Amino acid sequence: MIIQPKTRGFICTTAHPEGCRKIVSKSIEYAKAHKSECGAKKVLVIGSSMGYGLSSRIAAAYSSGAATIGIIFDKEGSEKKPASAGWYNTAAFEEFAHRDGLYAKTINGDAFSKEIKEQTIELIKNDLGKVDMVIYSLAAPRRTTADGTVYSSVLKTTEGNYTNKTIDLKDNSVKEVTIEPATEEEVLHTIKVMGGEDWMDWMDALKAADAIEKDAVTVAFSYLGPEITHPIYMNGSIGQAKKHLYETSKAISAKYSDIKAYISVNKALVTQSSSAIPVVPLYISLLFKVMKKNGTHEGCIEQMTRLFTDKLKAGSAVTDEGGMIRLDDLEMKDEIQAEVKKLWDEVNTENVKDLADIDGYWSDFFALFGFGAEGIDYEADTDPVYDIASLK
């Protein structure tokens, strides 16, 4: 079949197997060139199919030489329909890892569920004995808890209506958007989905099964951002969940004295999640323009490789005064933010293509799904079936 990008809202409903494979290969080559001495050798990545989760798995394997187990929740392809991008990314990663003599296996299912936790622990015990690092990188719109309750997250403010600029990704126009405040119940639901409760459940399960090493490290990902995005992000419903995630890092370290739990505050990048948040895509496109001009722009693999090479040390991490790893350090430099703020005040529909990196935004968006990779003929007939080796 000929596979072309098809978009609906802020998602792409198709993915290209050869494009995903090429992009994964490029990330691997970058990680190979940046060796880590953090000591991680047996790494579990919870949410490893795309974005920061996928890149952290690649960095663990190719910067640190680690065996990796990844957890995804993706659909395989058929003769009539492409697989999800996460499926293709994982199939490519396993192909390359096995070729290069690295252990890599994957579990496909709902990481929130007890069943997937049990399957993962069984695999760890059988193949690795114990893991020495756990990366928690789940980004899901809803969660079903053990008692069958379904919680759904929302992207709203918590301090009244908020109006600011945003970009309409349908036509790249700049317009005002007003975001309504979340109810107390919606905030609770968002915390249940995107907070730290499930992270703690994972750590409890791993400890109870004696499937995690003493002096292990666990890292969950977060974002803070500038004042421009604070009402919808840091002070919004999602921000309340991220605060809970931060408190959970402290709770894990307090509960288990032999485990060090950290929050890694990462840079704003194009992901399926960030594309859905009003205001944020416009900020990202302006940020890209400034950071590329400044020579400090990083993508997911550059961020995650720097996590393993610069921020994580054997048994510890380089943190700020609050105990958080700051991979957003380059984004949050005063001179970068001052220039972004200047452009934010000036940007409108007429000048957005001059002031913002719209092409870069869309390039990164389509790359999430394997489109736009160099050397791939997207007009060619392509087999949509690409097996994940460990799931055959």
Beta bridge partners of 135: 45, 219
266 touches 303 (CB < 8 A): yes
Active site residue 233: yes
- Return all residues near 360 (Cβ < 8 A) that are at least 6 apart: 285, 288, 289, 292
Separation between Cα atoms, residue 272 and residue 139, nearest integer Å: 9
- Return all residues near 341 (Cβ < 8 A) that are at least 6 apart: 226, 228
The β-bridge relationship of strands 11-12 and 173-179 is unpaired
- 106 φ/ψ angles, rounded to the nearest 5 degrees: -135, 145
Give the DSSP per-residue string, 231-289.
TTTTTSHHHHHHHHHHHHHHHHHHH-TTEEEEEEEPPP---HHHHTSTTHHHHHHHHHH
SS3 content of the chain, % helix, strand, coil (to 5): 40, 20, 40
Start-to-end CA distance of the chain, whole Å, equals 22
275 touches 227 (CB < 8 A): no
Q: Return the number of other C-beta atoms located less than 10 Å from residue 316's C-beta.
A: 14
Of 88, 233, 256, 283, catalytic? 233
Catalytic residues: 233
